Amino acid sequence: MTTLFDPIQVGAWQLPNRVVMAPLTRNRSPEAVPQPLAAEYYSQRAGGGLLITEATAISPTAQGYADVPGLYSEDQLDGWKKVTDAVHAKGGRIVTQLWHVGRVSHVDLQPGGAKPVAPSAIVAKTKTYLIKDGVGSFAATSEPRALDAGELPGIVHDFRHAARHAVSTAGFDGVEVHGANGYLLDQFMKTGANKRTDDYGGSIENRARLMLEVTRAVAEEVGGQRVGIRLSPVTPANDVNDEAPQPLFDYLMRELAQLNLAYIHVVEGATGGPRELDDRPFDYAAMRKAYRDAGGKGVWMVNNGYDSREMAEQALAKGADLVAFGRPYLANPDLVERLRRDAPLNAPDKATFYGGGAKGYTDYPPLAQSQAAA
């Protein structure tokens, strides 16, 4: 039986185990620049098979939350290089998640106070995170404007450009395209956010077009074996939905199978919530089969609510190759060792999830220290 601690080849990387650190937004990058503390945070967790960074904006207009990092300036790339160097010094592997939030933003976060961009001018009934006078708070998203078709090649270029510099300048082992959780690429995919009548709206093929153009461009730029993609077929996160997700994602899988990607990262159910949604049934096994039947070789990563070794290894037994851990990794920098020993996990401090400094970020005790204090 496959265990979490068996090595695996994933694209260009040989991973020592199948535990993945899921991307976790922490809002600790003022001016969108990763700070030295981030190097400590990620390197503490380098024992995982693969680390996926917090979502990282590909351009100024891609920003949607205060103090999240970017990949579009020299200072940002320099900040990330310190992170990757620290992770690599401990033998870890790290990829960055390429992010465009689309309509999940606020005019205060956009260049010149402009409207956020989206497939259609439909407000997302959700909130973003702002920091004013040093105080963080959640605020309703702003009304977006619909992107003109002529602007979409620029979006593809921004993803390509960010991927190139993530690998060649910042030293990441690869990148993950963020196609999930109601952000721009997911907005184009789903009928609840996309009411376009041009070549990027209407049919399944049209709505999937931008997702595929971006992923293809990124794979061409850095090599498909250094690229993963994150998808969330039925999550209601950020007010997104689709009237028929199964055929949509089965089609997407058949197309992605041609790109020689390292992995497919699937959020099962509602992001951060229930894994089964009565009003949004979905067959993940059929989705995986569509990918495999079309020749897709990338490994299959599952995510959402995995919080124990037993649960994760059940997923491996059902066909998953990697398991991404979110909140457990947040509070347990030595998560792999704790899972290996079936040791108790630190509980995360929710008050420190977003914004702040070392508290609730780099000060969670490792196992040896926890046992000594017991």
Q: Which residues contact 108 (CB under 8 A, 6 or more apart)?
A: 130
Domains of the chain and any CATH numbers: 8-373 (3.20.20.70)
Cβ atoms < 10 Å from Cβ of 57 = 27
Tokens of 310: 């037993």
pLDDT for the residue numbered 368: 75
SS3 state at 206? helix
**C-alpha span between 328 and 335 (Å, rounded):** 7
In the chain, the DSSP E strands lie at 8-10, 13-15, 19-21, 50-57, 94-99, 117-118, 127-132, 135-140, 145-146, 174-178, 227-231, 263-267, 299-303, 322-325
Per-residue model confidence (pLDDT) at position 372 = 55
d(CA 224, CA 83): 23
Indicate which residues carry an active-site annotation.
183
SS3 178: strand
Other C-beta atoms closer than 10 Å to the C-beta of 9 total 12
Give the sign of the dihedral formed by CA 15, CA 18, CA 23, CA 29. negative
- Mean pLDDT, 10 residues at a time, the chain of 374 residues: 96 98 97 97 98 98 97 98 98 98 98 98 97 89 98 98 98 98 98 98 98 98 98 97 98 98 97 88 97 98 96 97 97 97 96 96 87 57
pLDDT at 371: 62
Nearest of 25, 22, 57 to residue 159 by alpha carbon: 57
The pLDDT of residue 370: 61
Predicted local confidence at residue 40, as pLDDT: 98
Residue 92: its pLDDT value, please?
98
Distance of alpha carbon 9 from alpha carbon 7, whole angstroms: 7
DSSP label of 173: S
